[in-house]
Structure 1
């Protein structure tokens, strides 16, 4: 029987879990890597949370520091946000209407992907890192994990699955936080008959950005994924119907 072990902590206001599979799943090496992942995500939350008064995001918003005063990693994320804004033709934008800077639409995917490097250092370990439904996986065994796509109208129900042995799946929509997204180009709330858009691809950072931009795009969401090669999507309508782009990966028979 293949060994499995799981860990979970509450970080960024979300459950963050790691599922490890393989001979090293119960090893001290795997445990240390997971603890390092959690520590990196806690540090990212300390720097970037708009809800923490001492974060760089909050200090910038209050004008207590300037860009020259923040940690270099904050400036690096700002540059990544600028590239994401250009990539999505403005459908993703960290600039908040009325003033302020909030990179939340990019930071979670970026932070999870960066922290996942710790797990990559444990050779021959299959792992699935899940941060509130945004998922990064790597399976040296080539046996994929099967990732469930949540029903936006019923969080306890899975409406589709996708198999991945490497790469990421991110979802943007109304299930977790209600109608909270706005179109950066107009500053107006997003009104769409789509309840969620999930994006699968090689990078969680860009899957997250593209999922947000696709949801903002509404009826045009499949075209947004053409901005980068290797990304496919699944949209869920309010009536429960699904629409997948042609390359959306099929579910496998091997569950994680």
Structure 2
């Protein structure tokens, strides 16, 4: 290949790179939302998610109590499940991204043999918690969770966090561990290391709401170790949250 051909090829590559950059900026502009808090993209999206949430919730034991706790950042949905064990402190479970309380369906029967279990729908994520003010720092994230624990009829909890819930649990422990008896982390995101590049790349198509559902299903199956996600109530709930809810965290 002669020098002129190489120069032409480089020029075309620069033009292509520039076009891709402009396209990415245009996509970001189209997908932007002026709202400073997490919200549903449409009423239909919210209805679809809540219907999936309710279907998945049917696989849980009946909660002994449902609490809506007001914090400085919004209203946090908390469920209490009555256990058969004698643990001094109850467990409190934080779910992963775009999921909520129903994600613990398979775990609750065993955990209830330890004692009472509280579950939380993360504030600013798809679920029955309602974000009302911006959550813009690690301190904000710690504050709403600490205020939630402060409102419970127990002085301390065994805090358990899954994925981004693991990060949320650790973040609280770093800022204020007053209400924590112990901390248990399950695949905590961005806590001991950054998210692997392979996972980040796989997540990109799943983060664009108008791309096919199959792309989000593929990512959800990947993060679940290859588990089947078709016609699975919890997976349907998570996919509906990914597709219909705009995070502002």
TM-score w.r.t. the length of structure 2 is: 0.28
Structure with the largest fraction of helix: 2
Higher relative contact order, chain-length normalized (CA < 8 Å, sep 6+): 2
Q: Rg larger in 1 or in 2? A: 2
Structure with the largest fraction of strand: 1
